[in-house]
Every structure is written in structure tokens, then in C-alpha cells.
Amino acid sequence: MSGPLKGLRVIEMAGIGPGPYACMLLSDLGAEVIRIDRSGAVGQPGDVSTRGRRSIALDLKSEQGLALARQLIDSADILVEGFRPGVMEKLGLGPDACLHSNEGLIYGRMTGWGQQGPLAKTAGHDINYIALSGMLASFGDADRTPPVPLNVAGDLGGGSLFLIMGVLAALYERGQSGKGQVVDAAICDGAVSLMTTIHGLKGIGFWDDQRDNNMLDGGAPFYRNYECQDGRYISFGSIEPQFYALLLDKLGVDFGGTDYSVQLNKADWPRQREVIAARVKEKTQAQWCEIFDGSDACVAPVVSLDEAADHPHNAARGNIVERDGVMQSAVAPRLSRTPGEIQGSPAVSGAQSREILRELGYSDAQAAELIASAAVGEASGGA
């Protein structure tokens, strides 16, 4: 393993969404991640969010399975779990118990609603969490139902990345105090935090609650996606006046000036959008890309997932790689001296059960007994 987190051990309680993605990023940066899967669970070979970790399958309803889970957690620097509040406590694996036996443990809890609050124990998904943050109401056209976005802003942005920030902050503090602590990472909290820029714009009177009527929500004619002649789309993000001037020049349209009095005249935005939309429709996406190529007009084509891999900039930076026949993101961010790397293929439940048992001090005969008792599961061909 290589990367700045080399030497850290993470125990991941298998789940879906933000927890696995957070653990993927920790693995990419060099941490050893051991995933505790449920016995009988089946891994998906193409699920790259589970890449780079080993798996042991345990029956947490059995005393032997629970004992093994405790043993692994006691060996860890970081635990990541994404169950509803109270589930880990019922298993006897709650923070009090785990921090009692492993004082330096960073106990990362990843939920949608957090560990307390009226909704804490209710079910939810990404769309619900960003709905209560005010984020969802800010997406889409004014005369349509808010669109269903990808789970990027909620699960991954408001969830995974805030979990990692909390875990690494607690890890840094542990270096001073020697003590671990609990990280309560809630997607609803992170989603609200992600709206900070919008809160700031609203606070200075530069944002209103009417969707599709603000600079960054598609309302501005210079910050919007437009359909080209061939039915494909192109994105404009020309906020600064010098970029706005370039945009209008290359489009060949004139709104009577390029200063802020023209650019930020909301009353004239509907007309400007119509003029630009009609102009963009006159050429294909490829033709517009040629016109804007190399300029500072802040223009980029809207491409598909497959096309993204072949775009010259992504290709030059190696942002998207193929591993085991699956296209996936490369490691990010990039570190100059201790770069990370993809540590391995997606996890297969129980694939390393015997290997991990050996590392915990169990003989091959004892491992065979645990597997025979069904306290431990094993994938076909497991090590």
C-alpha cells in the first residue's frame, strides 16, 4: 500500500452509499480497510465504491461473530458504520463499548438525519436530506417540479466528504490527546453546510427563493446550459465581466454593453436567454466547441459518462481509468510526495475471511471451525 494514510487501519461495517465511498477514498490514500460483511452477502464486481479493501463475512447474530467484530475493532484506528441510531449499541458495538476497549478509536457514524433529532430514527435517502436543506428547492426550472438530482451533492458531498473531514480532524486531535472520539456525520448537516455560499448571497440581497431566477441556478443567461443544433448541450459559466464580454463576442450577440449594469439586469434576463438560446441553436456542439476553444469564455460541452473518459483534458490528467474492465475515477486528490493509488478490486464478501482470521491469531483448524459453524462466511475460493 502507498499513500499518506499508510499504516492506518479502518474497519468498515458494510453498508451502501456514503459509507463505502468514504472508505474507498481512505483506501485510495493508503489506509488499510477491512470490510465486515454480513454472511451470505454477495459483492458486486463492478461496484467500484467498494474497491481497495479486504472482506471478512461475519454473522453478527452469533456470539462468535460478534467477538470477532470486537477483536477487529479493537485493532483499528478508525471505525465507519452507517446503521440507524441504536443498531450498533444493540449489537454491543456502540461507542461506549468500543472506546472503552480501544481508547484511541475514531468512531465514524454516517447517517442521513444524525444521531439525534425528530427524524433520527426514520428512514430516508439522499433526495429527502437535500430537500430539508433548501438545496433541492434551488434546482431546476421555475415552472417545473424540482428535478431528481444524482446523489452526489447529498450522499457523497454532504455525507462522505464531511465524514472524512471529521474522521481526519479527530485523528489529528488524537495525536495530541491520545484519545479517540465519535464523529456524528449526518448528510442533512453536510448538505446545509454546502449551501453556505448561497446563504451568503441571500444575506447580501443577491439571492431570492424563486428558483431559476439567480446567478447560479440557471436564471442568469451567462450561467446556463443551452441546446445546440444537433440536440446536444453546451454549458456557459461566464460570470466575470471580462469572460461575459468574450462570451457575447464569440456568440456574436450584443445586449448594449458588457458591464454589470447590463449583465446583472434581471429584468432583461428572460430576453437575453431567448436570444442566446436561438443563437446557440444555429450550430452544433462541435462547432461551438471549436469557436470557443482556448478562450476564457468559460464554456464546456455537456458530455456523457463514456465521453468524459475520452475528453482530452480528462485523458491528459488520467482522471478516468479502466481496471478489471470497469471505467472508474482515478485517485483524487493528488499528493506530490506520497501519492495514493487504487489498492485493489471491489470487495467480495468473505473473500479474505481466512486470511484475516490468521492475522488475528487463529490457526487454520480454528478458522475452519468458525466457517463450519457459520459464524464466519467465506466466498468461493477465499484465501
Task: Please tell me the CATH superfamily of domain 9-194+321-377, with its number.
Answer: Crotonobetainyl-coa:carnitine coa-transferase; domain 1 (3.40.50.10540)
Domain at 214-227+233-301: CATH code? 3.30.1540.10
Domain boundaries, the chain: 9-194+321-377, 214-227+233-301
In angstroms, the CA 28 to CA 23 distance is 8
Does 296 qualify as catalytic in the annotation?
no
At 312, which amino acid appears?
Answer: P
- Write down the pLDDT at residue 109: 98
Residues 107/185, Cβ–Cβ less than 8 Å: no
pLDDT in 10s for each residue of the chain, 383 residues? 789 999 999 999 999 999 999 999 999 999 999 999 998 776 666 799 999 999 999 999 999 999 999 999 999 999 999 999 999 999 999 999 999 999 999 999 999 999 999 999 999 999 999 999 999 999 999 999 999 999 999 999 999 999 999 999 999 999 999 999 999 999 999 999 999 999 999 999 999 999 999 999 999 999 999 999 999 999 999 999 999 999 999 999 999 988 888 999 999 999 999 999 999 999 999 999 999 999 999 999 999 999 999 999 999 999 999 998 999 999 999 999 999 999 999 999 999 999 999 999 999 999 999 999 999 999 875 55
Q: Is 134 left (phi over 0), alpha (psi -120 to 50) or beta?
A: left
The end-to-end CA distance of the chain, in Å, is 19
Apex 98 CA angle, 92 and 101, nearest 5 = 120
Residue of 96, 100, 125, 364 with catalytic role:
125
Does 230 qualify as catalytic in the annotation?
no
Give the other-Cβ count within 10 Å of 257's Cβ.
13
In angstroms, the CA 276 to CA 283 distance is 12
What pTM value is reported for the model? 0.94
Whether residue 333 has a cis bond before it, omega within 30° of 0? yes
Residue of 37, 77, 126, 155 with catalytic role:
155
- CA distances to 260, 276, 302 from 235, rounded to whole Å, are 21, 12, 6
Assess whether the region 9-194+321-377 and the region 214-227+233-301 belong to the same CATH fold. Answer: no
